[in-house]
Amino acid sequence: MTEPTYELKWKAHVSHPEIAQKLKEAFRQVKDPEIGSDIIQLGLVRDVEISETEAIVTMILTTPYCPYGPAMLESARRIAEREIGKKATVIYGSDVWDQSMMEDPSAFNWGLF
């Protein structure tokens, strides 16, 4: 029996479904260089909210002290601005990452165990 995949719904999925899907695909360009997976696969984009004037992206990192964290947050911000055509802000969320947040938690076997 396969474990169900995790799918996080953002506020933008309700308010702007076509843009949310476009953003989700664009965010796949941002990879965690240590892990080799993108921020969507890892479940790091916790929410996207789009207003008339801006987009607010809430993101977390796999570890609070990730050396690539600032670069990944900035890449996500730039991609959001490019795809939406509005100012974007990335907020560092308070969720603590764990493997259940991944798109496919069964893909967690990185040879560490």
51 lies in some domain? yes
Tokens 């695909």 — which residue? Answer: 25
Q: How confident is the model at residue 105 (pLDDT cuts 50, 70, 90)?
A: confident
Q: Would residue 103 count as lying in a domain?
A: no
pTM, to two decimals: 0.87
> Which residue has 């490019």 as its token pair?
82
Question: Is the pLDDT assigned to residue 106 strictly greater than 90?
Answer: no
**DSSP readout, 27-46?**
HTT-B-TTT--BTTTTT-EE
Is 33 among the domain residues? yes
Which is more confidently placed, 22 or 111?
A: 22
- Whether residue 61 contacts residue 27, with contact meaning beta carbons closer than 8 Å, is answered with no
* Residue type at 39 in one-letter notation: I
Domain that holds residue 63: 11-97
Q: What is the CATH number of the domain that holds 92?
A: 3.30.300.130
Per-residue pLDDT band at 109 (split at 50, 70, 90): low
pLDDT at 69: 95
Tens digit of each residue's pLDDT (9 = 90 or more) over 11-27: 999 999 999 999 999 99
Distance CA 39, CA 102 (A): 9
Domain contains 1: no
Q: By C-alpha distance, which of 53, 93, 48 is closest to 69?
A: 93
Total of domains in the chain: 1
